[in-house]
Structure 1
Amino acid sequence: MLKIQNYHLQSIQVHAESTYPEECCGLLLGKLSGDVKTLIEVLPIKNAWDNQVAEGFSEIDALGQQPSSKGSRFSIAPAVMLKAQKDARDRNLDIIGIYHSHPDHPAIPSEFDRLIAWQQYSYIIVSVQQGKACDLKSWVLNEEHQFQPEEMITIRA
């Protein structure tokens, strides 16, 4: 279960709309208590997907028939991820998940999303249709490395 505040949802949606027609991405920082993740901060990140990143994922990205771009892929630069982990740790927080957008596609994980996902994280996907955020869902991986919907509880500040 992911506990989230309404302003976090709004922040993710605004970020997704601002990068349309490209995918946005960011980190979810918070607290972990058993199976419950409580979101404390949304950290927008620049989508680092480029030709060099695409080449690094070429083996698993061969699943798609068309060339990948920021319109259909996202990447968080390793140095950015390491800095975020350190900063979060310094504040007694954890990275509890990742969010990204699906421009003109549903808020359902792609096969590529599944292949690059990590078991312990929540994955929020926001669907942006013609520039407007319209659906947002959270997903987690099960023991068979398949995405399952994750319950999101909106809490008041």
Structure 2
Amino acid sequence: MALTISKEALSIINEHAEADYPNECCGFFYGLADGGQRQVRVIQKVKNAKEGDQRRRFQIDPQDYQKAEKYAIDNDLDLLGVYHSHPDHPAKPSEHDRKVAMPYFSYIIVSVQDGKAVTVRSWRLNESQQFDEEPIETHEFTPEV
């Protein structure tokens, strides 16, 4: 399985991650899931609702999840997953990320080092509730924001 995303969409995610540095940013991405392929069509920034230290954690308000599900239904898209940043840490899921992850979602993580997005990786939970890396393929497609 691969996650296909446009360079423009990656740029939007990276810019969000850099703008929120040194805090973690977060957001949703929508698109189409067809067999083993997932194609990202829409990026949606979300406010990090975590109270306290946002440099090490993000939280998405449950109402934002509800709005995201409604947006997907209203626009005939799949809610494919969540993106977030890891300020001054690798683009690998933490144990906390694993504990709060949902099986269907893809999780894009952006490593931001000294305010600059340097690495983007995607992950999905397997049947053993561990993360497997999901390949990211880029394509030319202008995402909706």
Q: How many Å separate the matches in 2 of 1:8 and 1:81? A: 20
Shift of 1:122: 0.5
User: Which has more radius of gyration?
Assistant: 1
Query: Percent of aligned positions with the same letter in both sequences?
Result: 46
The aligned counterpart of 2:59 is 75
Cα deviation digits, residues 116-141 of structure 1 (max 9, x gap): 00111110000000100011100111
Tell me, yes or no, if structure 1 residue 29 matches structure 2 residue 30.
Answer: yes
Q: How many Å separate the matches in 1 of 2:6 and 2:57? A: 27
Shift of 1:35: 2.3
What is the RMSD of the two structures over their aligned residues, measured on CA atoms? 0.8
Cα deviation digits, residues 21-70 of structure 1 (max 9, x gap): 0000000111111221110011010000015xxxxxxxxxxxxxxxxx21
Cα deviation digits, residues 62-104 of structure 1 (max 9, x gap): xxxxxxx210000110011101110121000111010000000
SS at match of 1:85: helix
The aligned counterpart of 1:123 is 107
Q: How many Å separate the matches in 1 of 2:36 and 2:103? A: 12
User: Which structure carries more helix by proportion?
Assistant: 1
Q: How many Å separate the matches in 1 of 2:70 and 2:77? A: 10
The aligned counterpart of 1:41 is 42
SS at match of 2:90: coil
Q: How many Å separate the matches in 2 of 1:132 and 1:32? A: 30
The aligned counterpart of 1:94 is 78
Q: How many Å separate the matches in 2 of 1:151 and 1:125? A: 13
Runs (5+) with no aligned partner, structure 2: none
Which of structure 1's runs of 4+ aligned residues deviate more than 6 A?
none
| Alignment coverage as a number of residue pairs | 140
Tell me, yes or no, if structure 1 residue 112 matches structure 2 residue 96.
Answer: yes
TM-score by length of 2: 0.94
What amino acid sits opposite 1:95 in the alignment?
Answer: L
